[in-house]
Amino acid sequence: MAGSANLNVMMKTARKAGRVLLKDFGEVENLQVSSKGPGDFVSRADKAAEATIKEELMRARPTYGFLGEEDKELEGDDPTRRWIVDPLDGTTNFLHGLPHWAVSIALEHKGQIVAGVIYDPVKDEMFYAEKGSGAWLNESRLRVSGRHRLIESIFATGLPFAGRSDLPQTMQDLARLLPACSGVRRFGAASLDLAYVAAGRYDGFWERGLHAWDLAAGIVIVREAGGIVEPLQPGRDILADGQIICANEPVFETFARVIRKA
């Protein structure tokens, strides 16, 4: 699809950061066996990727604001537009040499996400969407799955780790959902979970305790692929709260009823 100038900037930037991260990923695989492990190296790679993205985006659009995972927020001269960026979503996968992580870049205009790009450099999969123009994976149009029945559907989520407070709720979600569906996956990169819902690979996704940068790009991609995206607690703000539920239209209601029972 021929995208807008902004979308082209976002894709070019995601590819550039992806190339650098891919090289670092090769190094991480070597570092697994060292006694110190790849921790410091990965945190440097993450920060360097954000710096590259920030430089590219700020050069192309000097007046836009910038919210990234690694650095403090930058307010732009244009208060209506900001980039929301996760330079490396799936950091723990990256750290362990697991080939499932992504660069995520979103553009917000007047409080709404209007464009999103999620790039998986290992698989060379570029998921992207602009409001009103559909969602795409490389050259192909994306559509959420057509499954109607919960029992045939698979869902993705994130499992709270390292003492996160929402573990009991997530365990209860799983206890209710697992008997009623075809399976739940935890691949470890929320942006790709959303991209996979848009691609019809998963039928839905929910998670608590996320950040705006994990979610922003995926929201517009799922919606443009025909999916329903809502705050997990109705009436709340997805990006501010970091809680989300999404699915294809036919299963959304049943799925949401099960998850929202918490």
Tell me 126's DSSP state. Answer: E
- Contact segment (CB under 6 A) with ligand IPD among 136-144, 188-196, 197-205, 226-234 equals 188-196
Task: Measure the CA–CA gap between 171 and 142, rounded to whole angstroms.
Answer: 31
In degrees, rounded to 5, the angle at the alpha carbon of residue 185 between the alpha carbons of residues 179 and 187 is 165
CA distance 214 to 211: 5
Q: Decide: helix, strand or coil at residue 262.
A: coil
CA-to-CA distance for 122 and 136, rounded, in angstroms?
18
* Distance in Å, CB of 199 to ligand IPD, minimum: 17
Site membership for ligand IPD, residue 56 (CB under 6 A): no
Taking residues 75 to 114 in sequence order and writing x for each that binds ligand IPD by CB under 6 A, - otherwise, the string is -----------x--xxxx----------------------
Query: Between residue 228 and residue 247, which ones bind ligand IPD under the rule CB under 6 A?
Result: none
Min. distance of Cβ 239 from ligand IPD in angstroms?
14
What residue type is assigned to position 202 of the chain? Answer: Y
Q: Which is nearer to ligand IPD, 14 or 210 (CB)?
A: 210
Interface size with ligand IPD, residues (CB under 6 A): 13
Strand pairing category for 154-157 and 140-141: unpaired
Contact indicator for 85, 63 with CB cutoff of 8 Å: no
158 lies in the binding site for ligand IPD (CB under 6 A): yes
- Judged by beta carbon, residue 160 or residue 226, the one nearer ligand IPD is 160
Alpha carbon distance 6, 55 (integer Å): 15
Q: Is 173 one of the binding residues for ligand IPD (CB under 6 A)?
A: no
Nearer to ligand IPD, 61 or 196 (CB): 196
Residues that bind ligand IPD (CB under 6 A): 69, 86, 89-92, 158, 188-190, 209-210, 214
